[in-house]
Structure 1
Amino acid sequence: MNLVRTPKGSATGRSPRPGAALAALAAAQFTVMLATSIVNVALPQIRAGTGLSDGAVTWVVNAYGLAFGALLPAGGRAADLLGRRRVLIAGVGLFAAASLAAGLAATPEVLITARALQGLAAAAIAPAALALALAQDPSGPGRGRALGVWGAVSGAGGAGGVLLGGVLTEAWGWSWIFHAVALGSALVLAAVVALVPADAGPAADRGSGRFDLAGTLTVTLALTCLVWGLTTARSEGWGDGRVVGALAAAVALLVAFAVIERRRPNALIPPRLLTTGRVATGNLLMALLGSVWIALFFFLPLYQQQVLGSGPLATGASQLPLAGANMLGASLAPRIARRFGATTTAAAALLTEAAGLLWLSRIGAEGSYATDVLGPSLLIGLGLGTAFVQLTALAVEGVPPRDAGLAGGLVNTTRQVGGAIGLAVLTTLAGSVTAHAAVHGSHPEALTAGYRAAFAVSAAVLTATALLAPLLVRCTGGKAVAAAAPSLPDHREPRVGRTAA
């Protein structure tokens, strides 16, 4: 019988069209990114509705980010060993249930626990969905299309979260931001079950061996200590004993993890992965991009609400140009990379985003959305969408199918951890500048000074990243692969894939 060879992606046993499967997988990634930012504009209402203190309300954001970032390597490896479609379905189901629980929460403890469960589920969804998307066309032009879609939905998810959060909070209250995510997750779950085929390829291509429990526990605890220490430093200060202890524990645990991984045949993050293609280079550059990305969606809504006086709905709607520019940049990225080379495209995209952030560093307390925010948002969106596609392509370049889920988890981890580090540093900087400016100016002027400093440093980080990218690519040797370059026979070298200086 031929049924054994047929991917079981639907009730009929027929393999769905790749475009439909990619749409379902992209919807899963969009949902994960949406949940990262959807609570930002609703935090005052959430604090009033659940009785959270000023200090505890930040954990509505942090609980999700901490669990998501810390558990991504484990989620990626589980997807490789247990089956990516199976792990994706379980993750989306848990995400829907946790979102519903968050919307029904009447106490701070229940809400924060539900947000942590959302983060755990997201850590299973993101690497499994990315591995399945790239498997649709592992080496052909469809890979570039998949990465373009991934960049578009990832950036649009961050901006869309601010928009949807503002609309729902103003119309029906904060609980509906979670009810809407729960409903959307249920629809995504149905689409994945119906449209995404079972993992393709022989079992040898999907990973083998036992789960690395010792490595998983060590790196999860290390990342938890790191993210917790960084996020707590924002409110308690870098000299706080708990912050210092958490960061010291993170360093010790990461050293222990490196020792464990060298000695285990079934390592969670095999050393071979970091020497494959440009995985290490792509992850380092993605961490630097993430340090600015997450902070952008934190500071920009605050400026609009606290200084310009915009409400949740207006603040959310103002993200539409940025989201549209991001989607345009991501969709054009493969085409640009084929024309100019992947490295040149990535560097130009990072410089474009840096230019937008430098423009934002000129915002004023008496400004307006049209004069201070709209233009920079368009530049940032174009650069962000293009850079995300190219850096993701670098981070998964040359990875064998058996490690695809792990590579997807790793690049998401570096973005999340980079974001936690960047947000902690930039909020500390902005707070210090604001406190100093408050002595001589009004409260809006002091806040604006802090935001300007954060945007200026963000622009400097991206400029340095753009200058660093060609150097790192050259140092890793070989050719830089354009995100959408079509596959060629092994004896040929694609012209557009040469390293672009």
Structure 2
Amino acid sequence: MPCAPHEARADAPPAAPRVRRTRLTLALLAFAHLIIGLDYNIVFVALPGIATDVDFTAQNLQWVVSGYTVAFGGFLLLGGRACDLFGRRRMFTLGLVLYAVSSLAGALATTPGLLVAARAGQGIGGAFLTPATLSLVTSLFAEGRERNRALSVWGGAAGCGMVLGSLLGGVLTETFGWEAVFLVNVPLAGLGIALAAPLIPADGTLRRGRVFAEFDLYGTLTGTAGATLLVLALVQGPESGWTAPAVLISGAAAIVLLLAFLVIERRGRNPLMPLHLFRNRNLSTGTAVTFTFMATFGVLAYFLTLYFQNVHGFSAMQTGIAFVVPCAGVLVGTAVGGRLATRFGMRATLIGSLVLGVAGTVAFALSLSPDASFTALLPGLSLLSLAQGVVYTTMYAAAMTGVDEGDQGIASGIASTGEQVGSAVGLAVLVALANAGTRGLTGAELRTATSDGVRAAVLAAAAGMVLMILICANFRNSRRVPATEGPAAATPAGAVQPETVRTAR
């Protein structure tokens, strides 16, 4: 495995078993991240079938995606802090259990409300699973080359999940129906649960009195409710109208709760989200980057599905095959992102890949038309997908730089919250833009209007990527410092001795 820890020296044989175990642990963490990537992408291909069988309308179909996003974004801070307090292996297992149960419920759903509720359950599972996997990677691998390479494997697994999701989504939907895209998660999550105990380092004895004394109950209630209501208002606003009573009430309640949350966090002895973490410029900048990334790159799969199926009339199988190209580009980008960050620095890698992404996105948008061939889409689609993979890996490596070991879980939750809120906001805004000219149209007119709307949404995403370049300029620059030589066995807490330590200036 390319990102594996260094082999132990000949004079330190006891380190070899730990090195092998760390490799296997990384493989399991990557597998769990693959499940998240698989679940995210596999649903897109099944959306038309879900809309028909479960009676979703064109306007509320986005809730199959947004229901997951709202719950994921609302519970990430809780999930991240729970990893630090209750143990990362415990939260890893809990996340997979929630994924399995909710996926089964989704397959059995017969109404829009039940299906959206099941997707919300998957989102809560992801809110515990994502910070658990990310914080385990960043705590097991020291900052620098080894962490960058480990994050490449972690991010690359999500790329693999996207590719598999595209292919399996088409195959399963056409062969067994849309229910199969939910059922496939059940055995995968079960395998991850079975492997957690033997491969992930134990959390140690849980001293309940101390843990619950340190648990920020009021911060948890206000922060989780406030974040959930905020995402809910942002998702529903473009569709229902920003003056709709439900949107106004949700938005106002979110503001009140989040203000209360900040007061509680500032005064509390053991806050859910220690505000001092935002003094780390890389974490605060990285959270803004993850938000913008998902509001642009992250939601494009939704519009690709609309374009392929509603404009060109692709079947679920054909759509899945068409998704292989962009997903393969993401996979390649995540594979090389860590190496590029180690060689050129995180800020330079992010800015360079974003420039490539803007160029590819604009080229892709300009190639969209009702009669465009798939070949005409490939140059722009390949460029933006490659850039997406590089940015995905590197933005997390940059955001987690300089975070203390005891705060890895909540820091992962903060960065991931930016990602999920960005997905909800980007999807809501761009869906409203794409659908603006399609109401009341049918036939060829609808195909043309849909193509024009998708083009407008993709160009808006490109504008957001330009903003991301400006945000990335705020990351601290880094330079290489040779690490002190020593055997892998000497590194503490299972961390891997880095070949290169990166410091900020």
- The alignment's TM-score, normalised by the length of structure 1, stands at 0.87
**Matched residue pairs, number?**
471
> Structure 1 residues 245, 340: CA separation in 2 closer, same or farther (over 3 Å shift)?
same
Aligned equivalents of 2:276, 2:160: Cα separation in 1: 33
Query: Is the CA contact 2:483–2:501 (under 8 Å) kept in the aligned structure 1?
Result: no
Name which of structure 1's ranges 70-79 and 238-247 shifts more when overlaid on structure 2: 238-247
Aligned equivalents of 2:303, 2:412: Cα separation in 1: 28
Paired position in structure 2 for 1:445: 448
Provide the identity percentage: 37
Paired position in structure 2 for 1:289: 293
Q: Which of 462, 474, 492 is 2:465 aligned to?
A: 462
Query: Is the CA contact 1:433–1:453 (under 8 Å) kept in the aligned structure 2?
Result: no
Matched, 1:147 2:157: no
Paired position in structure 2 for 1:480: 478
Paired position in structure 1 for 2:82: 78
Aligned equivalents of 1:60, 1:498: Cα separation in 2: 41
Matched, 1:96 2:100: yes
Unaligned runs of 5+ in 2: 1-16, 486-498
Aligned equivalents of 1:27, 1:270: Cα separation in 2: 30
Deviation at 1:400, TM superposition (A): 0.8
Query: Is the CA contact 2:148–2:342 (under 8 Å) kept in the aligned structure 1?
Result: no
Deviation at 1:243, TM superposition (A): 1.5
Deviation at 1:481, TM superposition (A): 6.6
Query: Is the CA contact 2:311–2:370 (under 8 Å) kept in the aligned structure 1?
Result: yes
Paired position in structure 1 for 2:264: 260
Deviation at 1:353, TM superposition (A): 1.5
Aligned equivalents of 2:25, 2:114: Cα separation in 1: 35
Aligned equivalents of 2:482, 2:420: Cα separation in 1: 30
Aligned equivalents of 1:202, 1:215: Cα separation in 2: 21
Matched residue of 2:202: which SS?
coil
Deviations 1:29-75 (A, max 9, x none): 12123222322221232233334455554332222111111000000
Paired position in structure 1 for 2:139: 135
Paired position in structure 2 for 1:87: 91
Q: Which of 361, 364, 371 is 1:366 aligned to?
A: 371
Deviation at 1:159, TM superposition (A): 4.8
Query: Is the CA contact 1:322–1:381 (under 8 Å) kept in the aligned structure 2?
Result: yes
Aligned equivalents of 1:317, 1:267: Cα separation in 2: 47
Partner AA of 2:134 in structure 1:
L
Paired residues for 1:65-464 under 5 Å = 65-139=69-143, 141-199=145-203, 210-362=214-366, 363-372=368-377, 374-434=378-438, 442-464=445-467
> Structure 1 residues 498, 53: CA separation in 2 closer, same or farther (over 3 Å shift)?
closer
Matched residue of 1:267: which SS?
coil
Partner AA of 1:369 in structure 2:
F
Unaligned runs of 5+ in 1: 1-13
> Structure 1 residues 85, 481: CA separation in 2 closer, same or farther (over 3 Å shift)?
farther
Partner AA of 2:478 in structure 1:
A
Deviation at 1:223, TM superposition (A): 1.5
Partner AA of 1:359 in structure 2:
A
Deviation at 1:473, TM superposition (A): 2.3
Deviation at 1:200, TM superposition (A): 8.8
Aligned equivalents of 1:481, 1:419: Cα separation in 2: 32
Matched residue of 1:41: which SS?
helix
Q: Which of 15, 33, 40 is 1:36 aligned to?
A: 40
> Structure 1 residues 140, 54: CA separation in 2 closer, same or farther (over 3 Å shift)?
closer
Paired position in structure 2 for 1:7: none
Aligned equivalents of 1:313, 1:339: Cα separation in 2: 40
Q: CA RMSD in A?
A: 2.8
Query: Is the CA contact 1:155–1:384 (under 8 Å) kept in the aligned structure 2?
Result: no
Matched residue of 2:478: which SS?
coil
